[in-house]
Amino acid sequence: MDAGLKRELEEKVYAGERLTRADGEALYATDDLAWLGRLAHHVRTEKNGDRVMFNVNRHLNLTNVCSASCAYCSFQRKPGEKDAYTMRVEQAVEKALEMKDEQLTELHIVNGLHPTLPWKYYPRVLRALKEALPGVSLKCFTATEVQWFEKISGLSADEILDELIDAGLDSLTGGGAEIFDWEVRQKIVDHACHWEDWSRIHRLAHSKGLRTPSTMLYGHIEEPRHRVDHVMRLRELQDETGGFAVFIPLRYQHDFHDSADGIVRNRIQAQTTMASPAESLKTFAVSRLMLDNFEHVKCFWVMHGLSLAQLSLNFGADDLDGSVVEYKITHDADAYGTPHTMHREDLLQLIWDGGFRPVERNTRYQVVREYDAPVTAADRRREPQQVWA
Ligand code: SF4
């Protein structure tokens, strides 16, 4: 990038001017990662100071049986496969209750598109979970699942959301977004929920007072221009509804244990090496800069590893996913040694050690508790710390 364009982009960011599609693509093309991070860190600090939010949640997958076979997914199983499972309502409640003593505030539930489970199963599970854990928010189902419920029930998304909200739904999840651009999407997604339906369902959820997350799966066969296109669509929808709580870039994962049963489910791994740490930090930074109407950018550490998650806090992220006991979609296996579970104390330490101030939040991003730093870290927290200082 030439010095003139660099100065122009820098001036726009510091003046709070909205960046264009061409600006986003130019930012991805820069080799100056430290400069890009500094711009994103400026915006992140303007919006969120030195706070890093997190919530204590548990991820549950009620079933891994799925009618679709998305090319990036190592989670789905077909009916009758050896490790296919579907939880009974009581099993889901039993699993959730195991975390009761850990002051969990949210359950995050996503599932395969089960071919024969009746629609009524889903509100029934929500009701049972709400009854068992009345203080816990239920963040459940992707827009893809809601569209699937339309298909299996004959109801409209409007009626489905009303029934789910009545059963205790507090938020949808942000999944199913992947990459909206059709050129890429048609090669990786194997269900019928694309931008038109994904945006329709989130728009509807926002109109009913739900705040929802949004995601982007990057680092597979897409190019930076597709990532820019993706966040611009979300930015437009956010202008319209204001209902997105957060944006979450998710790094595409290889399935390192395909050989366990000899079946290659994650079919695009031969075409990609996965995003490097630098590419991931770039994606966080450019997303933060483009999404001027989003308050929060979250790093889901299970998909990035703890080191990268900590660094992402200096590249635009201000939110870390909390205690995750189980998370399986796209992450059945990991060759990096990333733990699958982390608890409150581990997370606090990670945030303090990065030079930030941990703030526990609930699903709606209301503050649950602010944490004082250990004495030894206090000086380091007076100003947001940057890794290249
Ligand atoms: S990503 Fe979701 S819809 Fe696609 S195959 Fe996996 S579980 Fe099924």
Distance CA 305, CA 310 (A): 9
Exposed/middle/buried for residue 116 (C-beta within 10 Å: 0-12, 13-18, 19+) = exposed
Instruction: Give the pLDDT of the chain (389 residues) as one tens digit per residue.
Output: 888 999 999 999 999 999 999 999 999 999 999 999 999 999 999 999 999 999 888 889 999 999 999 988 988 999 999 889 999 999 999 988 887 767 788 999 999 999 999 999 999 999 999 999 998 999 999 999 999 999 999 999 999 999 999 999 999 999 999 999 999 999 999 999 999 999 999 999 999 999 999 999 999 999 999 999 999 999 999 999 999 999 999 999 877 655 467 777 777 877 888 899 999 999 999 999 999 999 999 999 888 888 999 999 999 999 998 554 444 444 443 444 466 667 777 888 889 989 999 999 988 899 989 987 665 554 554 444 454 43
Residues 229 and 98: their CA atoms lie apart, in Å, by 41
Q: Residue 179: helix, strand or coil by DSSP?
A: coil
- Chain centroid, CA 53 distance in Å: 14
DSSP E strands in the chain: the ranges are 51-54, 57-60, 106-109, 137-140, 169-171, 212-218, 244-251, 296-299, 319-320, 357-361, 367-370
From the CA of 66, how far away is ligand 1's center (Å)? 6
Ligand 1 atom 2: the closest Cα is on which residue? 112
For residue 139, report the distance from its CA to the centre of ligand 1, in Å.
Answer: 18
Single-letter code of the amino acid located at 15: A
The SS3 assignment for 140 reads strand
User: How far is the centre of ligand 1, averaged over its atoms, from the C-alpha of 272 (Å)?
Assistant: 19
Domains of the chain: 22-373 (3.20.20.70)
Please list every protein residue whose CB sits less than 6 Å from any atom of ligand 1. Answer: 66, 68-70, 73, 75-76, 112-113, 144, 191
